[in-house]
Structure 1
Amino acid sequence: MLLVVIAFVVLLVMGMPVAFAIGISGALFFLQHPELPFTIPVQVTVSQTQNFALLAVPLFILAGHFMNRSGITARLLDLASVLTGRLKGGLAQVSLALSALMGGVSGSAIADAAMQSRMLGEEMVRRGLSRGFTAGVLSFGAVLTPIIPPGIGMILYGSIGQVSIGRLFAAGFLPAFLLWLGLAVAVWLTARRRGYPPERAARPTLAEAGSAFRGGIWALLFPVFLLLGLRMGIFTPSEIGAFAVLYAIVIGVAVYRRMRARGFVEALEGSLADIGSVMLLIALSAIFSYGIVLERVPEVVSGWILGLTGDLQGAMVLVALFILAIGFFVDATVLIIMLTPIFLPLMRELGGDPVHFGIVFIVAATIGNFTPPVGAAMYAVCSILNCSVAAYTRESVPLFLAVAGATLALIFLPDLVLFLPDLIFG
């Protein structure tokens, strides 16, 4: 298995697409074991694509693209300005609020960061915020996206680990609020030190607040409808993905009347690209996962961690640090697919709740999207804003510390994660 891991790292360093790096390195495992039929890689790849639970992934990706084309983003921006416009930091605080509101719409941290950079980036710089700090806020703010329903990471983790997706959806709200609070405090402290003014000089009037809330109400209700549908047994996780697509189309066509034929086609084209890359990654990862299970890697890793500590929180901190370190080099989606079968059994053995661990896991894995050397969201934002990675990294330190502190709080305060799932689902 060591040769397989080395091959995977080498292929990544060479610049090979992640899906092919996983598939090729996984195939090497079977070359090392000639007693295994070489038809197995083909069989496990095909069988992975026939996993009914994973049908929710392309459906929610499609729904996210339709929601983004429905005209809902501008209305959420107005609502974000009303909510946070008077805080020090101006548009930086507004962008964080928009990330929280958009989490249930886009479902993708990278897409959210790129979209907000195009919308707000240059305007934030024109209003006096440094380019590096602007890029850092727009990038790290997207950490909220994957843990607000319907985050794709939750669907992958729940499908692979056989964990209730409904409970994962419910568990994301309070941790997202904690992350938002931590980032908002970091932005406020930086803005106070540098003299960045608020976005709004006066409190919004009741009429302004009401208008902004009415404009964003359909986006705010979206995750609520998802949870209610799952809780009342109206939908399965896969069926609710189809509901999400229909909901997005109805909102775009009948409510906001912004969905035109061109936007519809562009949403389909964007969805095809995203769905193709994600599903190919999921399919080829089955080859890699087969070798992991056969070589009993989960048991080996569990034994190593248990040798260091038998405490649940201590083990979770070690796992989070490991995921964070690997996340500097590997995409969050890959980490969730590859490491869930390794670490989830360990957490269950120590008496941990799989939903609690899932939220911590997803946050820790997502941080890698915003950090050098291979953070996808970081490069997307820096490219759009023409910002150097060095300036981005230097200015993002307070934001990184805020997210790391919130993640530690989630580890040691499991009730913060489990309160809503227990309240809604029992």
Structure 2
Amino acid sequence: MVTATQSFPLLAVPFFIFAGNLMNSTGITDRLINFARLLTGWLAGGLGQVSIALSLMMGGISGSAVADASMEARLLGPSMIEKGGYSKAATAAVLAFGSIITATIPPSIGLILFGFINEVSIGRLFLAGIVPGILLTLTLMVTAWIVARKNGYAPDLATPADLVPALGRFPGKCLGACLSGHPDRGLPVRLFHPRPRHGAFLVFYALFVGFFVYRELSFAKLYEATKGTVADLGMVMLLIMMAAVLGYAVTIERGPQQIAELVTTLTSEPIAILILVLLLLLVSGMFLEGAANILLVTPIVLPVLVQAGYNPVHMGILIVTLINIGGLTPPVGVIMFTVCGILKVKTGEFSKASVPYFAALLVFLALLVAFPALSLFLPGQLM
């Protein structure tokens, strides 16, 4: 258990969690909401489009789908119901499905855990998540637009005319990781590499902006952000420690080899193996929280996929996204219950309103499987 915590790359996790909590207390999140509203509020669907654009931006801050869904349900949910014409179920659906964008956009906590537990380059995973994250955002926005046109949801803004001057006033969002030189490879910058010093820089950035730029961060808010970070980190590290114990036992019992033998006896076709593994992960995602699923299940199934000829970085993006989709389904969908609990929505109503978004996610996953270059292009070019 102790050995599992003695990892230098894991220092990135507390810094990124702390930075996300700080940014929620410094006014940065509120300004991102206003910016997202100017970018997309004039589209059909109004605040629903705003929530999806905000999830893309929050992916560079919080790295947690549950945290993003919880925050947006509290901040945007009431306005979507009262002003946007959305029903409670429709509001919960668009907020919950938009939150899974954070699973792919750096600095995704899920990608950090996946890379750590499976010994896959976290830098490559972060780069691999950028294009799929943008593609997922566009897919959900198109779906929200179709649903809005069908149900008559009005735009939040009458015109995008205010966008240009607003861009000039917006101070710029921190991307969730700073840029650093990479002289040995001849590259001017290295994007989204989750080194602990980058997380530390992000924390100091949030503190500086909160205290001296926006002046909205008080010592009381700093205490609450620190307290929340300790609680979040305690949960994550306990999962990591216990996953290490289970992983040790599974290795001794030849679990991965037995799973591989079982799958290969059923079929030898790589695409059939991939479908079987993805179905297994989707089912496990219905019962396990995302981080636990990544730490407990992926070390067993990833060797099977690699043996079938799949790239572990590409599989990392696909698996982490799919595991978060499991959080949207009964009986133990963490994201679903979080949003439904805040907005007081019955899970049956949520499931009915979610059908168009599930269809959109199936299209997205099919594109990701059919075109591995969507996730492998940037790592291939920059690393």
Shared fold, TM over 0.5: yes
More displaced, 299-308 or 107-116? 299-308
Q: Counterpart of 1:331?
A: 289
User: Equivalent of 1:184, from 123, 137, 141?
Assistant: 141
Q: Counterpart of 1:382?
A: 340
Q: Counterpart of 1:108?
A: 64
Q: Counterpart of 2:173?
A: 218
More displaced, 318-327 or 247-256? 247-256
**Identity among equivalent pairs (%):** 43
Contact 2:39/2:160 (8 A) holds in 1: no
User: Equivalent of 2:17, from 61, 65, 73?
Assistant: 61
Report whether the alignment pairs 1:396 with 2:351.
Answer: no
Contact 1:324/1:367 (8 A) holds in 2: yes
Task: Give the whole-Å Cα distance in 1 for the aligned partners of 2:88 and 2:338.
Answer: 14
Q: Counterpart of 1:255?
A: 213
Task: Give the whole-Å Cα distance in 2 for the aligned partners of 1:328 and 1:236.
Answer: 29
User: Equivalent of 2:196, from 226, 238, 248?
Assistant: 238
Report whether the alignment pairs 1:91 with 2:59.
Answer: no
Distance 1:270-1:80 versus aligned 2 partners, 3 A rule: same
The residue identity in structure 1 corresponding to 2:173 is: W
Gapped regions of structure 2 (runs ≥ 5): none
Q: Which has the higher helix share?
A: 1
Report whether the alignment pairs 1:285 with 2:253.
Answer: no
Distance 1:227-1:408 versus aligned 2 partners, 3 A rule: farther
Gapped regions of structure 1 (runs ≥ 5): 1-44
Contact 1:317/1:411 (8 A) holds in 2: no
Task: Give the whole-Å Cα distance in 2 for the aligned partners of 1:254 and 1:161.
Answer: 41
Contact 2:60/2:176 (8 A) holds in 1: yes
Q: CA RMSD in A?
A: 2.0
Distance 1:376-1:249 versus aligned 2 partners, 3 A rule: same
User: Equivalent of 1:75, from 20, 31, 48?
Assistant: 31
Report whether the alignment pairs 1:350 with 2:350.
Answer: no
Task: Give the whole-Å Cα distance in 2 for the aligned partners of 1:228 and 1:409.
Answer: 33
User: Equivalent of 2:234, from 261, 276, 289?
Assistant: 276
- Length, aligned pairs only: 377
Contact 1:229/1:240 (8 A) holds in 2: no
Aligned residue for 1:205, secondary structure, equals helix
Structure 1 residue ranges, 4+ long, deviating more than 4 angstroms after superposition? 226-236
Offset at residue 274 of structure 1 (A): 0.4
Offset at residue 350 of structure 1 (A): 2.3
Q: Counterpart of 2:371?
A: 413
Task: Give the whole-Å Cα distance in 2 for the aligned partners of 1:117 and 1:206.
Answer: 25
More displaced, 339-348 or 355-364? 339-348
Distance 1:298-1:364 versus aligned 2 partners, 3 A rule: same
Aligned residue for 1:153, secondary structure, equals helix
The alignment's TM-score, normalised by the length of structure 2, stands at: 0.93
Contact 1:168/1:359 (8 A) holds in 2: yes
Task: Give the whole-Å Cα distance in 2 for the aligned partners of 1:353 and 1:177.
Answer: 21
The alignment's TM-score, normalised by the length of structure 1, stands at: 0.84
> Of the two, which has the highest radius of gyration?
1
Report whether the alignment pairs 1:161 with 2:100.
Answer: no
Task: Give the whole-Å Cα distance in 2 for the aligned partners of 1:169 and 1:311.
Answer: 29
CA deviation profile, 1:281-306 (whole Å, cap 9, x unmatched) = 11112221112111111111112222
User: Equivalent of 1:135, from 89, 92, 98?
Assistant: 92
More displaced, 266-275 or 383-392? 383-392
Report whether the alignment pairs 1:171 with 2:135.
Answer: no
Offset at residue 153 of structure 1 (A): 0.6
Report whether the alignment pairs 1:298 with 2:256.
Answer: yes
Task: Give the whole-Å Cα distance in 2 for the aligned partners of 1:162 and 1:107.
Answer: 20
Task: Give the whole-Å Cα distance in 2 for the aligned partners of 1:419 and 1:331.
Answer: 30
